[in-house]
Amino acid sequence: MKITNLTAQQRDPNRVNVSVEGKYRFSLDVTQIVSLGVKVGREYTEQELAELEQESQFGKLYARALEYCLIRPHSAREVRDYLWRKTRATRYRSKKTGEMKERPGVPQELADRVFERLVEKSYVDDEAFTRFWVENRSQAKGISRRKLEAELRAKGVEEYVIKRFVQESPRNDADELQKIIAKKRKRYPDEQKLMQYLARQGFSYDDIMAALHDSV
């Protein structure tokens, strides 16, 4: 079967529509077109075209996953969870008939390939993510060391990575407490309720009492 046309997509000029024997078959990104040697006039077996369709799926999923990673750093677990969701079939309503249909998810092996490529290109790096999380969670609003460590564990970061970056951080619970108290005292004029709020943030009773005493 012969490639009869290659046309850049209007909504995404980085992707190229591939037509086989005069009919649209799949799309590939520009780098895939070059690396795979796809060109007009080249002939493929049905098996080879099926393999190119797999590459098409890989390219689309990699682009989406890369966009997800560039929004902010993510832990390896977060990225794996994101890719796992893409392997699941989704139901949608047909615009033409109004009927509910099912769109199959991508094969797990493609999701694994995408994850490996992201790691290879350093878009997934738990140490870089942990550094980002520690710095930004401390800057955005006060947070206790206990809660910070719990958040990182929930995101699948290894314990030794958590300990190293939290210990290296210049943040400390005393400063974080003062930061929160300054922000929340008006919202919690009742000191008992303020103490309860601070306890929910993971601070110890002794640290809370000392901070409230110092802030008077």
Q: Would residue 72 count as lying in a domain?
A: no
Scanning the structure block, which residue is given the tokens 């493609």? 110
Q: Would residue 24 count as lying in a domain?
A: no
Q: Would residue 119 count as lying in a domain?
A: no
Domain that includes residue 205, residue range: 126-215
Q: Would residue 167 count as lying in a domain?
A: yes
Phi, psi of 190 (to 5 degrees): -80, 115
Q: What's the structural domain count of the chain?
A: 1
So what's the pLDDT on residue 216? 57
Contact in structure between 19 and 3 (CB atoms under 8 Å): yes
Separation of alpha carbons 143 and 149, rounded Å: 10
Q: Would residue 84 count as lying in a domain?
A: no
Q: Would residue 180 count as lying in a domain?
A: yes
Q: Would residue 35 count as lying in a domain?
A: no
Separation of alpha carbons 8 and 29, rounded Å: 9
So what's the pLDDT on residue 211? 86
Mean pLDDT of successive 10-residue segments in the chain (216 residues)?
Answer: 92 92 93 93 94 94 95 96 90 80 86 96 96 81 86 96 90 85 84 89 88 74
**Residue 14 burial (C-beta neighbours within 10 Å; 0-12, 13-18, 19+):** exposed
So what's the pLDDT on residue 140? 59
Q: Would residue 56 count as lying in a domain?
A: no
Nearest to 170 by CA among 198, 128, 203, 138: 138
Contact in structure between 198 and 208 (CB atoms under 8 Å): yes
